[in-house]
Amino acid sequence: MIPLPVETVFEGKVRYMQIIDKDGNTDENLDPKLSKEMLRRMYIMMLVTRMFDDKALKLQRQGRVYTYPPCLGQEAAQIGSIAALEEADWMFPSYREHGCYLWRGAEMKWMLAYLMGSELGMKIPEGKNNFLVAIPIATQTLHAVGAAWAAKILGHKVASIVYFGDGATSEGDFHEAMNFAGVFKTPTVFFNQNNQWAISVPRKKQTASQTIAQKALAYGFEGVQVDGNDVLAVYRATKEAIDKAHRGEGPTLIEAITYRRSMHTTADDPTKYRDAAEVKSWEEKDPIKRFKIYLERNGYWSDELEQKTVERATSEIEKAIEEAEALKLDNPEDLFMYTYSKMPPHLVEQMNELMEYLKEKQ
């Protein structure tokens, strides 16, 4: 069950938004009426994200990439939100936002290189305001607020969006970031992908709050809850929050109710802590299925387009795998190269020691 909006002691309440239900029925009053081209692109990227995710999982099982965090079931939350950003806005991911990277122009070759253990995979292309993958839980919330505050001080019309899971809301970094954002009214969108599980800890044991969205109220700004499997609702809520940030009206917390249908990472066995019937029930709320129904009803999609998209994406993914596996990814110096614009003396010393040691071992 998706929690209902909750009245609070704060002046106002948490809004809940859904536009396309699990059967593809649409609330015409809330539909953002995006162009056919935009809607098609969003669907294609959701589909490509799922295909990339499936292939990466298989590569890990074959020993061709290292630990991998699947995003099956979270495609609408990712694509719907990232599509609402302007080019100059900053994106701060956690470690599961593969769809966000793909939308913002990341090459699959380098995404795979990162999964193969190469530092080069996280080298952000010039002009792309994408931050690095954040493995530590919730640390990226502070980075996002800092970047947004800097933009505000400089007078730049730039917002930041930061992605995190329900488990991150139990970390001190999350609350410090929320407090700072509220006090200084930074142009930040906190985007919580509430996928119901933080590894083996269920949402009900994560917090006693009826919603995660309402946590924003204590810090003095708006919290919104959306159906995270409804790409149009996610887009609309994020666009409203980004526009508000650009107008200088401060931060927003969005709680996207979704579900992690796969394992937390490939080091995890979810069958040990959750029931198969629970997973099955969320398959009926599949974000790609419901969006496809919406597009077909509006005459924007067909089986022919689906087939062509799948064929093209399959070819692109296979080519990216070939290119990634052909790269030279074992340069030890890369471990030291990309933290500072100019490497400090202590890192230079450590790098030289390592390289000398490896040279002696040859």
Catalytic residues: 260, 264, 273
Distance between CA atoms of residues 76 and 99, nearest Å: 9
β-bridge partners, 13: 7
DSSP state at residue 188:
E
What letters, b where the CB count within 10 A reaches 16 and e where it falls short, cover 160-188?
Answer: bbbbbbbbbbebebbbebbebbbeebbbb
Distance between CA atoms of residues 280 and 282, nearest Å: 5
Q: What's the alpha-carbon Rg for the chain, to the nearest Å?
A: 21
Grouping H, G, I as helix, E, B as strand and the rest as coil, residue 198 is strand
Amino acid identity at 69: P
118: tokens are 């190469």
- 356 Cβ partners below 8 Å, 6+ apart? none
DSSP state at residue 299:
T
Distance between CA atoms of residues 160 and 91, nearest Å: 6
β-bridge partners, 198: 201
Contact 194/165 with Cβ under 8 angstroms? Answer: yes
Contact 188/145 with Cβ under 8 angstroms? Answer: yes
β-bridge partners, 188: 160
Report the Cα 358 to chain-centroid distance in Å.
Answer: 38
Grouping H, G, I as helix, E, B as strand and the rest as coil, residue 163 is strand
Report the Cα 234 to chain-centroid distance in Å.
Answer: 12
- Indicate if the alpha-carbon torsion angle 87, 130, 114, 39 is positive or negative: negative
The number of residues in the chain equals 362
Contact 229/75 with Cβ under 8 angstroms? Answer: no
